């Protein structure tokens, strides 16, 4: 609805049409503009003082000159995983305005506080402006060439003395898909599996839990699809602050479906304020709560027996386990009464379709993987996976954390979840057209250490690296304890905060002890400011995704193409160019980049993201990243208005280039781009044909267990020529079925080439290794899912707890429960020892809970994101949250003489940790619970570290980091840290 103020003709493109007719005026020089806009602000005092009458800080900053042409660029918000489109108006190379992206089916024009202020990101005067190094404790400006030369030389030296594994490559969920893939490929060429990113600390336990249940580690449905749900459970998710635009779909669904929205959370969140029911429970007791719900479901026969018989393995064993979780037991553990849980369970089981949403409140625990498994079991028991309006709606964190996970920024995977086995390396060697032995030659041989066997370099290639939650332990710990050639000596940190994992005192010691620290980021981050390093510390200004092109994968697996809005500002450069420059100096650029198109970039040659995506398309068969060619993705972005808001399917009047597609070709998008698979809006959906986006649970754990089949029974997709469960497709299976004759000569030649002429090997070539896509094509033409049609696992026998059972947090507020519900046994994992049980027992023995009587949990604020350096540097956001704080219940505050707004000290149970923050006295937390947001840094235990940042790059708002207080605890499967439960004491400062 457009209404004109004056008598001129109203048109939707009023400004554009006027501009087209306008006369080009003298162009504004972007550099001088930036100098004028950004650098004129020195600090808060200056910002607060503006000239009389003028509301704007600079005349030109956001003014759109109607006399000059405007370019419209479309990209995506670089904050959370919802994937909101951003429409940028650019004049003379300056981003002058942001318009609502009404055509996007995901955000329909809307944003949250962060998305509505992203323009500032490329005007920010607090960005890192040029490469810098620390010399004798002082930051010095250097050139890109000097920086890259020195870093490469130092890396070579470390490689020589300590080995390739001594360089840790910490990547980012802020990379594009192409950047993520390139970074993983870089690690492979360098010769280490010590490569990780933020998924470790947000949803690694989700990926492990979900993939171990039904095959793939991703959100099963989409934000839009929640409009179909009749019951929605949020557990450990505060979407109103963490994923605000998702609430548009959820609240509309709640209104139109009159849906139940049940929020289970220790804290009365802003999401809870919009729920139909809020259930409070003690942090860290999710499994008891879920098993308590399952108790009622089985007790009353509310489970979906047909679904269980057809598509689920092992639910009867779960039934036995949850018998122990009686209402009395659950109330004792979690503090939730039986009637409340019974009511919630009944709604979830009966008022279907029901969806279960979780976030870091569920994942960041020592029982993270088990929590996820418990959620999955609840969904399976009620038949709520694989259809419209149901599913595991895992709201992921960063803008491309799904894509970065998919492309293997993970210590245990090559791109697309191929693992680290010889088969995986051989697959990618074929795609990269580099001999397998080249990689063997790049990896370290590991000597026998700490009573463990020595490893050849080929064996070392298959061993998962050290998780990002433990890198600093791997720097400072006795070398015998670190299961690789030597300790970590260097950190290359691309787009990753240094305040994001617990035990920051230890992280600080780790930073101090490194031989080399490189931070490549638009902002200096905590990695530049926390420590007391004086030399061998480099800052590389890498631009944001608004300053380069590339694709990113939203939480719902839709892949969206982002268009460069403006050139990289100041002396910053993009990820692709920096990785190319570094690879050149390390001597493997020619091999690593040989399949890419190289073009002249800002300072040096760089690969085009299109050519990188095409290589991904040639190798990403296992997750269906093969159909999303750059052309198809760009066509989707150009035709966003032609997709349905709820189903995400192209509308009947859509142009031919997107006809039949789901928006963003959510993976799996099988086969080659020419095969034109539409993508899969809903995973494991047996209600539609595979060719139209259907699927089934993936049988990847064998064909039978204890005499029971792991293949689906009596369930298949419409049009399937095999009307029952079936295993994954290989050349051998095609031959058995007589379908191999459908392969084209070219496809057959590729398959035979991979098999190397050996009949047995040829038969073993599977749908995920066939580089021709022929096996996938033929399987789908016959109505079958390439990976097979199996059962989901209620029992995951390969995990420490095959069926989730309650385990107390390491620092438990209920030490009397620890004996009955101890944490998992100590173990070695990802090259490091995990001594959680020793720590837990020690806390009980020392009666820590008496001295630290308040449970501390952490979470997000809507204004900030992640480690927060970027958002705390944005004045439009920083103004809204100027102080780090702790939420404390009025009863606890009164008992301590604390008044709202007072300064308080929060004391943690380890390392004599403490943090000086403001008190926010609120009943949002109950007595005995405190909450702190995790976006702050720049103060350390009362010390203001503003001076540690290079001049002019310090974020506007600084504050204590919650992870100074959070403590030991790691998930036994993924090494996820315990970010949500520790103990603390609070006192007036």
Partner 1 sequence: MARMKFLCDADRCIECNACVTACKNEHEVPWGINRRRVVTLNDGLPGERSVSMACMHCTDAPCASVCPVDCFYTTDDAVVLHNKDTCIGCGYCSYACPFGAPQYPQTANFGTRGKMDKCTYCSGGPEPDMSQAEYVKYGSNRLAEGKLPLCAEMCSTKALLAGDGDIIADIYRERVVTRGYGSGAWGWRTAYGETVAV
Site for partner 1 in 274-303 (CB under 8 A): 274, 278
Scanning 264-272, 283-291, 387-395, 513-521 for contacts with partner 1 by CB under 8 A, the matching segment is 264-272
CA torsion sign, 576 to 582 to 583 to 589?
positive
**Sign of the torsion angle spanned by Cα atoms 196, 199, 203, 206:** negative
Q: Is 708 helix (H, G, I), strand (E, B) or coil?
A: strand
**Interacting residues of 226 by C-beta distance below 8 A, sequence separation 6+:** 232, 246, 249, 250, 253, 355, 357, 389, 393
- CB-based contact 204:245 (threshold 8 Å): no
**Cis bond upstream, residue 353 (ω within 30):** yes
Q: Which stretch binds partner 1 (CB under 8 A): 265-273, 316-324, 371-379, 702-710?
A: 265-273
- Selected binder of partner 1 within 36, 44, 645, 835 (CB under 8 A): 44
CA distance linking residue 111 with residue 101, whole number of Å: 9
**Among positions 56, 594, 828, 946, the unique one binding partner 1 when judged by CB under 8 A:** 56
Residue 62 in the binding site for partner 1 (CB under 8 A): yes
CA 155 to chain centre: 28
Of residues 14 and 800, the one with the C-beta less far from partner 1: 14
Q: Does 343 bind partner 1 (CB under 8 A)?
A: no
115 forms part of the interface with partner 1 (CB under 8 A): yes
Task: Give yes or no for residue 879 binding partner 1 (CB under 8 A).
Answer: yes
Total residues contacting partner 1 (rule CB under 8 A)?
77
Given the rule CB under 8 A, which of 14-22, 341-349, 471-479, 831-839 is the region that contacts partner 1? 14-22
What Rg, from alpha-carbon coordinates, does the chain have?
27
Choose one: 252-260, 569-577, 627-635, 779-787; the region binding partner 1 (CB under 8 A): 252-260
Buried b (16+ CB within 10 A) or exposed e, 379-409: bbbbbbbbbbbbbbbbbbbbbbbbbbbbbbb
Q: Is 364 in the site for partner 1 (CB under 8 A)?
A: no
Q: Show the tokens assigned to 569.
A: 């500002």
* Residue whose token pair is 């009749």: 230
Q: Which is nearer to partner 1, 101 or 490 (CB)?
A: 101
Record the tokens describing residue 374, joined without a space: 């418990």
Under the criterion CB under 8 A, does residue 618 sit at the interface with partner 1? Answer: no
Stretch that binds partner 1, among 113-121, 551-559, 614-622, 793-801 (CB under 8 A): 113-121
> Which residues have a Cβ under 8 Å from the Cβ of 781 and sit 6 or more positions away?
691, 742
CB of 773 to partner 1, least distance (A): 40
Q: Does residue 126 belong to the site contacting partner 1 (CB under 8 A)? A: no
Of the candidates 495, 494, 475, which has an alpha carbon nearest to the alpha carbon of residue 486?
A: 475
- Residue 53 or 947: the one with the smaller Cβ distance to partner 1 is 53
CB 410, min distance to partner 1, A: 31
The yes or no reply on residue 265 touching partner 1 (CB under 8 A) is: no
Site for partner 1 in 632-691 (CB under 8 A): none
Shorter beta-carbon distance to partner 1: residue 144 or 223: 223
CB of 741 to partner 1, least distance (A): 54
Residues 777-796: x where in contact with partner 1 by CB under 8 A, - otherwise, as a string: --------------------
* Distance in Å, CB of 279 to partner 1, minimum: 12
Name residue, tokens 């061993």. Answer: 463
- Binding residue for partner 1 (CB under 8 A) from 20, 39, 50, 454? 50
Which of 80, 112, 235, 370 forms a contact with partner 1 (CB under 8 A)? 112
3-state secondary structure of 273: helix
Using the contact rule CB under 8 A, the part of the chain among 210-218, 246-254, 525-533, 801-809 near partner 1 is 246-254
Token digits of residue 256: 């139109």
> Residue 689: is it exposed, middle or buried by C-beta count within 10 angstroms (0-12/13-18/19+)?
middle
Closest approach of partner 1 to the CB of residue 5, in Å = 4
Nearer to partner 1, 117 or 583 (CB): 117
Distance CA 722, CA 712 (A): 11
Which one of 115-123, 282-290, 715-723, 903-911 is the stretch in contact with partner 1 (CB under 8 A)? Answer: 115-123
Q: Is the N-terminal amide bond of 593 cis, ω within 30° of 0? A: no
CB of 49 to partner 1, least distance (A): 6
Task: Examine residue 399 and tell whether it contacts partner 1 (CB under 8 A).
Answer: no
Can you tell me the distance from the alpha carbon of 399 to that of 301, in angstroms, rounded to the nearest whole number? 41
Q: Burial of 20 by CB count in 10 Å (0-12 exposed, 13-18 middle, 19+ buried)?
A: exposed
Which residue, 28 or 986, has its beta carbon nearer to partner 1?
28
Contacting range for partner 1; rule: CB under 8 A; set: 110-118, 498-506, 761-769, 822-830 = 110-118
Going by the DSSP 8-state scheme, the letter that residue 560 receives in this structure is E
Task: Give the span between the Cα atoms of 498 and 539, in whole angstroms.
Answer: 14
Contact 229, 357 (CB under 8 A): no
- Omega of the bond leading into 699 within 30 degrees of 0 (cis): no
Q: Binding to partner 1 (CB under 8 A): which residues in 63-102?
A: 63-66, 97-100
Half-sphere exposure of 424 (CA within 13 A, CB side): 18
Instruction: Tell me whether residue 291 or residue 881 sits nearer to partner 1 (CB atom).
Output: 881
- Give the integer Cα–Cα distance in Å for 236 and 245: 18
* Among 140, 146, 256, 842, contact with partner 1 (rule: CB under 8 A): 256
946 binds partner 1 (CB under 8 A): no
Report in angstroms how near the CB of residue 261 gets to partner 1 at its nearest: 12
d(C-alpha 865, C-alpha 149), whole Å: 33
3-state secondary structure of 313: strand
| Selection from 495, 500, 490 nearest residue 540 by Cα | 495
Q: Do residues 507 and 501 make contact, with C-beta atoms less than 8 angstroms apart?
A: yes
User: Is position 270 an interface residue for partner 1 (rule: CB under 8 A)?
Assistant: yes
22 binds partner 1 (CB under 8 A): no
Judged by CB under 8 A, does residue 111 bind partner 1? yes
The minimum distance between CB 852 and partner 1, in angstroms, equals: 24
- Provide the minimum distance between the beta carbon of 877 and partner 1 in the complex, in angstroms, as a whole number: 6
Find the part of the chain contacting partner 1 (CB under 8 A) among 178-186, 508-516, 752-760, 920-928: 920-928
Query: Using the rule CB under 8 A, is 870 a contact of partner 1?
Result: no
Encoded tokens for 141 = 């400006």
- Does 21 contact partner 1 by CB under 8 A? no
Within positions 499 to 528, which residues make up the interface with partner 1, using CB under 8 A? none
DSSP type of residue 121: G
Q: Binding string to partner 1 for residues 830 to 869, with x set by CB under 8 A, is what? A: --------------------------------xx------
Burial of 438 (0-12, 13-18, 19+ CB in 10 A): middle
Partners of 521 in the beta sheet?
Answer: 541
3 binding partner 1? (CB under 8 A): yes
Contact between 350 and partner 1 (CB under 8 A)?
no
- Closest distance to partner 1 from the beta carbon of 864 (Å): 11
Of the candidate residues 132, 208, 226, 245, the single one contacting partner 1 (CB under 8 A): 245
**SS3 category, 147:** helix
In angstroms, what is the minimal distance from the CB of 258 to partner 1? 7
Residue 944 structure tokens: 């203001």
- Nearest-approach distance from CB 794 to partner 1, in angstroms: 35
The smaller minimum CB distance to partner 1, of residues 146 and 256, is found at 256
Phi, psi of 648, rounded to the nearest 5 degrees: 60, 15
928 near partner 1 (CB under 8 A):
no
């Amino acid at each position: 609805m457009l209404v004109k103020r004056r008598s001129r003709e109203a048109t939707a493109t009023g400004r554009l049409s006027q501009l087209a007719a306008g006369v080009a005026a003298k162009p504004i020089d972007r550099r001088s503009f930036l100098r004028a806009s950004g650098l004129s602000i020195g600090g808060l005092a200056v910002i607060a003082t503006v000239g009389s009458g003028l509301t704007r800080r600079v005349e030109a900053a956001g003014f759109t000159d109607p006399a000059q042409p405007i370019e419209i660029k479309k990209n995506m918000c670089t904050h959370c995983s919802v994937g909101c489109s951003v429409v940028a108006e650019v004049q003379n190379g300056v981003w002058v305005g942001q318009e609502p992206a009404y055509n996007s089916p995901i955000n329909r024009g809307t944003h949250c506080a962060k998305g509505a202020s992203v323009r500032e990101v490329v005007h920010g005067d607090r960005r890192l402006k040029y490469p810098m190094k620390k010399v004798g404790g002082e930051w010095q400006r250097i050139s890109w060439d000097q920086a890259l030369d020195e870093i490469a030389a130092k890396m070579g030296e470390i490689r020589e003395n300590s080995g390739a594994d001594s360089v840790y490559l910490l990547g980012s969920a802020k990379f594009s898909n192409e950047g993520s893939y390139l970074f993983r490929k870089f690690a492979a060429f360098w010769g280490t599996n010590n490569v990780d990113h933020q998924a470790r600390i947000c949803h690694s336990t989700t990926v492990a839990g979900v993939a171990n249940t039904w095959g793939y580690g991703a959100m099963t449905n989409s934000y839009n699809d929640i409009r179909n749900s009749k019951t929605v459970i949020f557990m450990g998710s505060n979407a109103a602050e963490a994923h605000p635009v998702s609430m548009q779909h959820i609240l509309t669904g709640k209104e139109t479906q009159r849906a139940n929205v049940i929020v289970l959370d220790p804290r009365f969140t802003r999401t809870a304020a919009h729920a139909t029911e809020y259930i409070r429970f003690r942090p860290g007791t999710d499994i008891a709560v879920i098993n308590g719900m399952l108790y009622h479901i089985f007790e009353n026969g509310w489970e979906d027996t047909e679904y269980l018989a057809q598509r689920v393995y092992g639910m009867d064993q779960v039934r036995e386990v949850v018998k122990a979780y009686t209402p009395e037991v659950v109330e004792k553990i979690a503090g939730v009464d039986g009637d409340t849980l019974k009511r919630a369970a009944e709604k979830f089981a009966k008022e279907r379709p029901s969806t279960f949403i979780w976030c870091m409140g569920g994942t960041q625990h020592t029982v993270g993987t088990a929590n996820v498994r418990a959620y999955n079991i609840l969904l399976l028991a009620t038949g709520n996976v694989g259809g419209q309006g149901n599913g595991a709606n895992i709201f992921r964190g960063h803008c491309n954390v799904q894509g970065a996970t998919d492309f293997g920024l993970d210590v245990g995977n090559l791109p697309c979840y191929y693992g680290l086995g010889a088969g995986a390396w051989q697959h990618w060697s074929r795609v990269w057209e580099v001999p397998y032995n080249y990689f063997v030659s790049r990896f370290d041989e590991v000597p026998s250490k700490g009573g463990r066997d020595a490893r050849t370099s080929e064996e070392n290639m298959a061993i998962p690296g050290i998780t990002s939650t433990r890198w600093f332990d791997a720097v400072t710990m006795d070398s015998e304890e670190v299961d690789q050639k030597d300790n970590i000596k260097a950190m290359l940190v691309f787009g990753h905060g240094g305040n994001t994992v617990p035990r920051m005192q230890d992280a600080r010691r780790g930073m101090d002890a490194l031989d080399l620290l490189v931070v490549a980021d638009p902002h200096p981050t905590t990695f530049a400011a926390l420590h007391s390093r004086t030399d061998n510390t480099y800052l590389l200004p890498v631009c944001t995704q608004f300053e380069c092109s590339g694709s990113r994968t939203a939480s719902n697996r839709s892949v969206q193409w982002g268009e460069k809005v403006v050139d990289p500002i100041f002396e910053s450069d993009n990820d692709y160019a920096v990785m190319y420059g570094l690879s050149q100096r390390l001597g493997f650029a020619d091999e690593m980049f040989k399949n890419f198109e190289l073009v002249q970039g800002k300072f040096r040659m760089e690969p085009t993201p299109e050519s990188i995506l095409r290589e991904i398309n040639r190798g990403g068969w296992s997750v269906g990243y093969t159909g999303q060619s750059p052309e198809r993705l760009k066509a989707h972005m150009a035709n966003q208005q032609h997709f349905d808001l709820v189903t995400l399917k192209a509308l009947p009047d859509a142009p031919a280039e997107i006809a039949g597609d789901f928006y963003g070709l959510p993976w799996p998008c099988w086969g080659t781009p020419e095969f034109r698979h539409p993508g899969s809006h809903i995973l494991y959906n047996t209600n539609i044909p595979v060719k139209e986006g259907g699927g089934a649970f993936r049988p990847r754990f064998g064909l039978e267990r204890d005499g029971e089949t792991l293949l689906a029974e009596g369930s298949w997709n419409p049009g399937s020529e095999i009307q029952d469960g079936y295993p994954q497709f290989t050349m051998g299976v095609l031959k058995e079925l007589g379908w191999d004759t459908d392969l084209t000569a070219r496809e057959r030649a590729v398959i035979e080439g991979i098999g190397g002429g050996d009949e047995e090997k040829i038969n073993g070539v599977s749908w995920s290794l066939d580089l021709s896509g022929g096996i996938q094509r033929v399987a789908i033409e016959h109505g079958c899912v390439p990976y097979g049609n199996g059962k989901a696992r209620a029992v995951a026998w390969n995990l420490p707890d095959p069926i989730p059972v309650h385990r107390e947090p390491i620092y438990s507020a209920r030490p009397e429960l620890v004996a009955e519900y101890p944490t998992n046994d100590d173990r070695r994992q990802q090259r490091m020892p995990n001594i959680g049980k020793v720590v837990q027992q020690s806390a009980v023995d020392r009666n820590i809970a008496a001295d630290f009587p308040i449970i501390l949990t952490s979470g997000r604020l809507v204004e900030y994101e992640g480690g927060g350096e970027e958002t705390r540097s944005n004045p439009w956001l920083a103004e809204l949250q100027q102080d780090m704080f702790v939420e404390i219940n009025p009863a606890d505050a009164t008992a301590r003489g604390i008044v709202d707004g007072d300064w308080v000290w929060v004391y943690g149970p380890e390392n004599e940790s403490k943090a000086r923050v403001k008190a926010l006295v609120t009943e949002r937390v109950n007595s005995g619970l405190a909450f702190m947001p995790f976006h702050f840094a720049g103060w350390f235990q009362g010390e203001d570290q503003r001076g540690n940042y290079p001049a002019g790059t310090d974020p506007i708002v600084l504050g204590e980091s919650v992870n100074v207080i959070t403590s030991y605890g790691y998930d036994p499967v993924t090494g996820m840290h315990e970010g949500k439960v520790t103990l603390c004491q609070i006192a007036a400062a």
